[in-house]
């Protein structure tokens, strides 16, 4: 597991959620069907998208590592008014925001760098799996200095 996935897993599990790693949100079907997810799940669903910034002839390369994480809970009701959705979103909101706080304060971010912005948006009640899941999607780009280099003499 790479350092980014390890940190996401640590944060999600520290909050009391189950951690899932999927290639995309649609690949959750099998995992959700085999696991009791009543307490909620944190899903790291994106494939790495990394923009590498080199600085002249220095050995520094700043990687802009884009991630997408979902916080989801089961929605057992079909509610035309959206009240059931609001209850779930309210219960997950602070943890979704706390995820950003933990990433920002963690050891991943390159020294003297910051996360300039992040986006959090509600995931509509969709049948993404056999179960109906509702929650938040968090997207951000983490600035990380590249540590491993191939030495050519």
Q: So what's the pLDDT on residue 36? A: 81
SS3 of 31-77: the string is: HHHCCCCCCCEEEECCCCEEEEEECCCCCCEEEEEEEEEEEEEECCC
Give the range of the structural domain holding residue 126, as residue numbers without chain letter. 3-145
- Asked if the structure places residue 35 within a domain, the reply is yes
Residue 153, class by beta-carbon neighbours within 10 Å (0-12 exposed, 13-18 middle, 19+ buried)?
Answer: exposed
Q: Is 48 inside any structural domain? A: yes
Length of the chain, please?
153
Q: Is residue 106 part of a domain?
A: yes
Contact 27, 14 (CB under 8 A): no
User: Which positions of the chain have pLDDT values less than 70?
Assistant: 1, 24-26, 29-31, 33, 58, 78-81, 125-130, 147-153
pLDDT digits 0-9 by tens, 19-28: 999 886 667 7
pLDDT of res. 101: 93
41: domain CATH number is: 3.30.2000
In a domain, 153, yes or no: no
Tell me, yes or no, whether 8 lies in a domain: yes
Query: What pTM does this model have?
Result: 0.85
Whether residue 151 is contained in a domain is answered as no
| pLDDT for the residue numbered 137 | 94
Per-residue pLDDT at 130 = 62
Tokens representing 29 are: 């079907």
Number of domains observed in the structure of the chain: 1
Residue 15 to residue 77: CA distance in whole angstroms? 25
């Amino acid at each position: 597991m790479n350092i980014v996935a390890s940190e996401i897993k640590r944060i999600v599990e520290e909050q009391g959620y189950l951690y899932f790693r999927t290639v995309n949100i649609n690949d959750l079907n099998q995992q959700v069907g085999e696991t009791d997810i009543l307490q909620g799940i944190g899903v790291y669903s994106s494939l790495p998208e990394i923009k590498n910034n080199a600085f002249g002839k220095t050995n520094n390369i700043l990687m802009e590592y884009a991630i997408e994480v979902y916080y989801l809970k089961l929605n057992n009701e079909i509610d035309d008014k959206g009240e059931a959705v609001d209850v779930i979103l309210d219960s997950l909101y602070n943890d979704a925001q706390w995820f950003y706080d933990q990433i920002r304060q963690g050891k991943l971010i390159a020294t003297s760098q910051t996360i300039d912005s992040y986006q959090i948006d509600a995931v509509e009640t969709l049948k993404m799996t056999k179960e109906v899941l509702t929650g938040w999607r968090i997207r951000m780009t983490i600035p990380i200095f590249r540590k491993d280099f191939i030495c050519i003499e």
